[in-house]
């Protein structure tokens, strides 16, 4: 876990890293994101909010959020997923004790701890059992009327997604660093996502040309 509040940072006790993706070439691109723009438009008049970023420590994201006057806590969600269950070993994600251990490692926060969550694309790599448990925990730790931003592969014919790191460049611009692919646990469409976030107040979709479905969820 890594937290930043102004100039104070707590280093993680045991940082987790994903297995090597070999010598695959990294492809970097910049794109506009309406989902990101919506997320930050909801909090632009406020300061001192607590934001959770599930992408791990990304300097661009940490700097952007703290310069807006907010606190950020980061979790290397995919790295921890690989450490706990094995990379792409989706069948292992049904073990109840491992699921509880995973949630304790990544989402062990007090109720209503956060005013927003940058989920990015991590949810599409979780089995139904692990995903539902994660959604339930997020519902507990996010304050009412707060927002979460999540990305899903919109190509419903493929279970392979680019393995991507999302780096914030501006309130509406992302730099995408892609290296290789990663297998999804399941395919999502608008209807299944509405059902997934059924206990939340609202779900809003933005479909991009890059087969990326951006989702804003209001707690």
Structural domain boundaries in the chain = 24-218
CATH of 24-218 given 3.20.20.70, 3.30.499.10, 1.10.1370.30, 3.40.50.150: 3.40.50.150
Mean of per-residue pLDDT scores for the chain: 88
Work out the pLDDT band at 164, boundaries 50, 70, 90.
very high
Q: How many CA atoms lie within 13 A of 20 on its CB side?
A: 3
pLDDT of residue 219: 95
DSSP assigned state of 95:
-
Query: What is the torsion angle, in degrees rounded to the nearest 10, for the CA atoms of residue 87, residue 73, residue 123 and residue 153?
Result: -100
CA neighbor of 174 nearest in space, from 182, 183, 165: 165
Model confidence at 156, pLDDT cuts 50, 70, 90, reads confident
Q: What is the pLDDT of residues 24-53, one digit of tens each?
A: 788 999 999 999 999 999 988 899 999 999
């Amino acid at each position: 876990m890594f937290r930043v509040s102004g100039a104070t940072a707590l280093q993680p006790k045991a940082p987790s890293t994903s297995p090597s993706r070999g010598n695959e070439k990294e492809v970097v691109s910049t794109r506009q994101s309406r989902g990101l723009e919506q997320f930050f438009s909801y909090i632009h008049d406020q300061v001192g909010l607590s934001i959770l970023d599930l992408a791990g420590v990304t300097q661009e994201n940490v700097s952007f959020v703290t310069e807006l006057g907010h606190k950020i806590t980061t979790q290397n969600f995919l790295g921890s997923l690989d450490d706990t269950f094995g990379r792409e070993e989706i069948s292992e994600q049904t073990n109840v004790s491992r699921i509880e251990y995973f949630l304790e490692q990544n989402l062990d926060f007090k109720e209503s701890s956060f005013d927003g969550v940058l989920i990015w694309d991590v949810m599409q790599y979780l089995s139904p059992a692990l995903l539902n448990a994660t959604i339930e925990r997020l519902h507990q730790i996010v304050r009412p009327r707060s927002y979460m931003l999540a990305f899903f592969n919109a190509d419903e014919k493929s279970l392979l997604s680019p393995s991507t790191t999302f780096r914030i460049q501006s309130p509406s611009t992302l730099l995408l660093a892609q290296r290789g692919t990663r297998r999804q646990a399941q395919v999502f469409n608008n209807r299944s996502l509405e059902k997934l976030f059924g206990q939340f107040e609202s779900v809003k979709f933005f479909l991009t040309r890059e087969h990326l479905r951006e989702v804003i969820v209001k707690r």
